[in-house]
Amino acid sequence: MFGKIRGAVRRVGRYVAARSARYLAGAAAVALSVVVLILPSPYVVEMPGPTQDVLGTVDSGTVIDVEGVDTYEDSGELLLVTVSALGVSGYPITNAQALWGWLNPQTSVLPREAVVPVGMTDEEYTEQNAESMSSSQDAAVAAAKTYIAAHADELGVSPDVLDEATVTMHVDDIGGPSAGMMYTLGLISKLTAVDEAGGQIIAGTGTIDENGEVGSIGGIRLKMQGAKRDGATWFLAPEANCDSVVGHVPDGLRDVKVSTLEEAYAALVAIGNGEGDDLPHCTA
């Protein structure tokens, strides 16, 4: 046995001796590169995530479920948009995957601490996203209630319709507050007999507060890509995000600048009526 080992060592020695120092240095560099590429990465790769029609359904039920009052169907779709991320809670990546992200124009690569605060555990990050989603849904109901009370006559509903309703929202595996505006528009649409979307596929993003103010969100360029991929031709964008929108709207997608629920609902109705061409869009 020891003789075989000595023989193997001699063969390796002869192989190494027959190669130049440059060759051996190159081989060592390749081996080191492979090791580095398979190590865990401190970066996060973001890409366009799934979209969801807030007027539709998911595995757990209707996305916006309203009980206790009459509801109505719309012939179009209102898409909330998301960003998928690798390198966050439950989705570790290697340096090779981060390199792929840098080379792919359809993705963004960020330091992990820019997405997950330093010191926050994966469990805390997941819990924070879930709490943000829950808060955005509560704000959506409050904003819709205020809007309906102020516009009940033109909407053709009772000003206190939501006082009589039980609203539950179901979205599987989506967190964060950025779908607030689309939840609000979806809820108003379900409570009115008006066919707001008019058969159009309209995507959008933005936080919402109880006063109907639409706030900025992250990842809007990736979200516009996801909207275009899933058939949207219109995109409601927060005015506060316009700097990131200008010059990055995919071909075939028309952005509409909004800063309030009033503007967003008016834009929705205009698009559904085929009158969206004059709606404001983001400018430099």
Q: Give me the mean pLDDT over the 54-76 stretch.
A: 92
Return d(Cα 147, Cα 127) in angstroms, integer: 30
pLDDT higher than 60, residue 19: no
> For the chain, what is the mean pLDDT?
87
Output 147 or 124, whichever has higher pLDDT.
Answer: 147
CA distances to 150, 227, 269 from 273, in Å = 22, 21, 6
Per-residue pLDDT reduced to its tens digit, 73-119: 999 999 999 999 888 766 788 878 888 888 988 898 888 888 777 77
- Of the pLDDT bands very low, low, confident and very high (cuts 50, 70, 90), residue 7 is low
Per-residue pLDDT reduced to its tens digit, 127-172: 777 777 778 889 999 999 999 999 999 999 999 999 989 999 887 6
Return d(Cα 18, Cα 246) in angstroms, integer: 60
pLDDT reported for residue 85:
85
pLDDT reported for residue 155:
94
pTM tops 0.95:
no
Provide the annotated active-site residues. Answer: 178, 223
Return d(Cα 227, Cα 235) in angstroms, integer: 8
